[in-house]
Amino acid sequence: MNSVEKRFRSVLLFGPPGVGKGTQGGVLGNIPGFFHLAVGDVFRSIDINSPIGKKVYAYSSKGELVPDNLTIEIWKKALNAYVSLSRYKPWEDLLVLDGIPRNLNQAKLVESDLDILSVIHLACSDQEDMIHRIKRRAIRENRRDDANEEIIRHRFEVYNKTSMPVLEHYPDEIVSTIDANGSPVEVLRRILDAVIPAQNVCFTADW
């Protein structure tokens, strides 16, 4: 069987907007044995003037989630492209995902593609601090969809209503709630404590 037909051994980074999923995922992705794929980065790399780009921007610019089938289609194409380019080696790398799945339907749609070993739930008690983080990031990285506070607050509403129930979809034993307060290094240490057992599976199990 071709490797891309097997389920990818994965860790999910889960949490509200601005909690630091991209930061922590990016750090993990630079550690041998991990490959980070942020769905938001995949979407931002799409030409907004292309037909698919216009469809995506019509939703993201209003803080709405892109329809599930379109999201999964874009994500799978990007993932398989990284495998083809050997940037992601599923036989030795643990896939670190953030931004997917964002609702229960997506969680079910990706079950045939992902062998989820761990779910890292990044939790932060201060929503206002996260909103300020997002606005600062919008200026620093020129993210137009992150600059409007009304849209940001709507994204939190969408997350609480639609995304939070995803956590209940997974067995309690693979979900780790991580305190996202503190310095990035402190948060990273907490994450590593949770994901190292999952990464060890990649070195001991055959692909």
Residue 158 has pLDDT above 50, yes or no: yes
pLDDT tens-digit map of 167-191: 989 999 999 999 988 888 999 999 9
Rounded to whole angstroms, how far apart are CA atoms 189 and 117? 18
16-20, 56-60, 146-150: least confidently modelled range:
146-150
> Which pLDDT does position 204 carry in this prediction?
63
Q: What angle do CA 128, 134, 135 make, to 5 degrees?
A: 90
Residue 117 is part of a domain; what is its CATH number?
A: 3.40.50.300
What DSSP string runs through 175-203?
Answer: EEEEE--S-HHHHHHHHHHHHHHHHHHHH
> Which pLDDT does position 162 carry in this prediction?
85
Q: What is the DSSP letter of 171?
A: -
The DSSP bridge partners found for residue 96 are 11, 36
Domain ranges, residue 45? 3-204
pLDDT-based confidence at 98, cuts 50/70/90? Answer: very high
pLDDT-based confidence at 156, cuts 50/70/90? Answer: confident
Which residue would you say has higher pLDDT here, 107 or 151? Answer: 107
* Matching residue, tokens 């469809």: 55
pLDDT-based confidence at 144, cuts 50/70/90? Answer: low
Section 150-178 average pLDDT: 88
Section 88-108 average pLDDT: 92
In the chain, the number of structural domains is 1
How many residues does this entry show for the chain? Answer: 207
Rounded to whole angstroms, how far apart are CA atoms 134 and 173? 31
